Structure 1
Amino acid sequence: MLEKAISKLRTEMGQNNANPYIQVVGQFLLSHLESNPDTAEKIMNSEKTIAKSLSEMEKEAKKKKVGNCAVLTDQEGFGIVLKYFGIEGQVVNRPIEIKAVEANMAEPTAKKATTDFDVKLEDFLV
């Protein structure tokens, strides 16, 4: 069951690899499954998806909206996701590693500076 739940999440993440929110929530759920494999059955519910859990977050954020701004903490957002999937308990406050799924989402690599000009103080002393 655990393998099927992981496969379901990875499939949805792969089908939506341009959506960074689905990637973040998917990574969270994969991490949650590592620590709580007994919740795999709830993830397997065919009517529950990562995308629909984002809609639930949006509904909750709208309730907290002030002007044109609504903010949820990581813990609140992930708590809503777990509740959506029917998973009881508190969100463990741990950082989620976000892996880029496309080259254009990856952080640019720093290029090593190359210098053809090399001067030492001794070169100027007479």
Structure 2
Amino acid sequence: MSAVTKIERFTVSLTIGETRVEIAGLHRHGTGTPLVFLHGFGSTKEDYVDVIHQARLADHAVLAYDAPGCGATTCSDLDVISIPFLVSVAEHVLRAKEIERFHLTGHSMGGLTALLHREHSKVT
């Protein structure tokens, strides 16, 4: 099997509470369980793009996006950014991309967001 190396850029417009967020992301279609990546503070979605060169993961969809205030994602009110806000953003992006089941990987701030998303998902 050869790795699928095509990845597409996307944008998603969200309103969370009263805050407008324009998410800039990268996505690759696939038949395997999607791999979702959340970057750390000061990083961007591009930190994870090399995953598309891994032949063992060629059948998996891939999703990575810039958190609000990072990279190419914009946020109308940077004062609202908190880990709970980032959890809400992640849930909105997953819903917008119609992803229900996924493998979630996060680093630093993205790791904490991933852990809290997991805990929040158990409750709701």
Which of structures 1 and 2 has the bigger CA Rg?
1
Q: Higher relative contact order by CA 8 Å / sep ≥ 6: 1 or 2?
A: 2
- Into which bin does the TM-score normalised by the smaller protein fall? under 0.3
TM-score (norm 2): 0.27
TM-score normalised to the size of structure 1? 0.26
